[in-house]
Amino acid sequence: MYTILVANPKGGAGKSTLATNIAGMLAQSKQRVVIMDLDKQQSATNWLARRPASLPKIMSWTEETDMEELRAFAPQWMVIDTHARLRRADRTYLLSRANFVLVPVNPSVFDIEATAKFLIKLHQDTNVQSGKVAIGLVGSRTDSRTRMAQELNSFFQRSGLPVVMFVPDSVVYPQCARDGVSIYDLPKARTENQLEAWQPLVDWLRVQMAKLRAANAPAQPMPERGVVEIA
């Protein structure tokens, strides 16, 4: 099972938006996906509760989850939506389980400052230093025409980490959150621009999965149809 950890020390950074849309993307690619919601607000869990039964199933992994049902589901991907202030022990444990870490950042000076400190802590983790975990940065609700977007991009460049994608500032994301869907569940005519913006994330995951295959990572079975097949 592949594990994607979505983390940032700042509340409102777009973690749940990123986590739910990644889960929807994978589910539409015929992957069996589970979301572990560690956020006290339970945004991802509530999103799943609103998810229409007609859409590809995504399981929730909480303290109340039936483990027999989860094992029978046999998830191929786990997306972890974290809370804002992870303790060091929790961060270390989650990084030991993760294959990919995505850090969403809002284009504001407060978010940039908080994320800079968080990235230092990530760099100090042994799993990150060993190259076991791939880290990517995501610009949240970013209008590339604004000055703050330019400052966010400068911060990304200074970090030395890859910039995976920029999530456009669009009303479609609040609407998806309300309806329990992802942009991949909607008609393409409505989300064409959004899907184009998300393609770099698909490409980044493809590259990282290829590295895992090359390294013959144990206990990492390849999915029958991966994200590489998403148009």
Q: Of 2, 65, 57, which Cα lies nearest the Cα of 32?
A: 57
| Percentage above 90 pLDDT, the chain | 40
* CA–CA gap between residue 44 and residue 41 (Å, rounded): 9
Q: Is the pLDDT of residue 179 over 90?
A: yes
Give phi and psi for 201, each to the nearest 5.
Answer: -65, -40
Question: Average pLDDT, whole number, for the chain?
Answer: 86
* CA–CA gap between residue 32 and residue 224 (Å, rounded): 10
C-beta separation of 47 from 21 below 8 A: no
Tell me the pTM.
0.86
Q: Give burial (CB, 10 Å; 0-12/13-18/19+) of 64.
A: exposed
Radius of gyration from C-alpha coordinates of the chain: 17
Mean pLDDT along residues 202-222: 73
Tell me whether residue 56 is in a domain: yes
Give the pLDDT band (50/70/90) at residue 54.
very high
CATH of the domain at 164: 3.40.50.300
Other CB atoms within 10 A of residue 155 CB = 20
Tell me whether residue 191 is in a domain: yes
C-beta separation of 219 from 193 below 8 A: no
* Residue pLDDT, tens place only, 109-164: 888 888 888 888 888 888 888 888 899 999 888 776 777 778 888 888 888 888 88
Tell me whether residue 221 is in a domain: no
Domain count, the chain: 1
Mean pLDDT along residues 76-97: 87
List C-alpha distances in Å: 151 to 14, 108, 109, 122, 142: 18, 9, 9, 22, 11
Tell me whether residue 187 is in a domain: yes
Find the domain containing 173 and state its range: 2-213
Strand order in the sheet with 134-139: 58-61, 33-37, 77-81, 2-6, 100-105, 134-139, 163-166
Q: Is the pLDDT of residue 231 over 60?
A: no
Tell me whether residue 167 is in a domain: yes
Displacement of CA 43 from its chain's centroid (Å): 14
Tell me whether residue 81 is in a domain: yes
Give me the residues paired with residue 6 across strands.
81, 102
Tell me whether residue 186 is in a domain: yes
Residue 220: the pLDDT is: 41
* CA–CA gap between residue 142 and residue 101 (Å, rounded): 20
* CA–CA gap between residue 154 and residue 223 (Å, rounded): 36
Tell me whether residue 89 is in a domain: yes
Residue 198: the pLDDT is: 92
